[in-house]
Chains A and B, each alone.
Chain A
């Protein structure tokens, strides 16, 4: 079946890089997304990657896609306190014509 998995928590020191990982099951996935949810708010799209790409960089954000292992990661360089949020991986499953969200990774920043 369709599934998207993430670890629930990540804690990093301010200024370090954060790497949030995601695995998915359906190899027919075409678009893969990272959303950010700040406290008390809805989700906002951070970035997305098309399945024919291995990497996408956007300022402090780097998305890596390993299609063979069905693994997606989001790297945040120079993590700041404002990056504290829940980060959701989401995958468009072509076979089911729908987006499946992971359970979200709560990123905490240590001073």
Chain B
């Protein structure tokens, strides 16, 4: 399927477990992003990547790890999940984050018990 996909769409896990959220895009966009969406906070950038093997921190990177070994994939790992990481996570990609739109995935709803 063309576009940007996220998996899983829904995930329930327990405090302390490791969780990986997957993001895949078929456009070969250079840039990829991870956001979390929380009521009252809007979208906050967790990490972003300008190209394969290049990643950088956003506003709220603590507790998260990313990698970008291939241009099309940008997985987000919660090394030891906490309840405060319960959120909706959106992945996005773009050719140029300034002049082009960011294309968003459908989101992953993560609940940490």
Q: Is the interface of A mostly helix, strand, loop or mixed?
A: strand
Which residues of chain A are within 8 angstroms of B101 by Cβ–Cβ distance? Answer: 33, 44-45, 48
User: What sequence of 0s and 1s flags, for each residue 87-107 of chain B, a beta carbon within 8 Å of any chain A beta carbon?
Assistant: 000101000011101101111
Q: Does A30 contact B (CB under 8 A)?
A: yes
**Surface stretch bound by A, among B38-46, B60-68, B71-79:** B38-46
Query: What is the count of residue pairs linking A and B with beta-carbon distances less than 8 angstroms?
Result: 49
In contact, B90 and A43 (Cβ under 8 angstroms): yes
Given contacts A42-B106, A98-B45, 5 further A-B contacts (CB under 8 A): A92-B98, A98-B48, A98-B97, A104-B42, A104-B43
- Which residues of A line the B interface, CB within 8 A? 4, 6, 8, 30-31, 33, 40-45, 48, 88, 92, 98-104
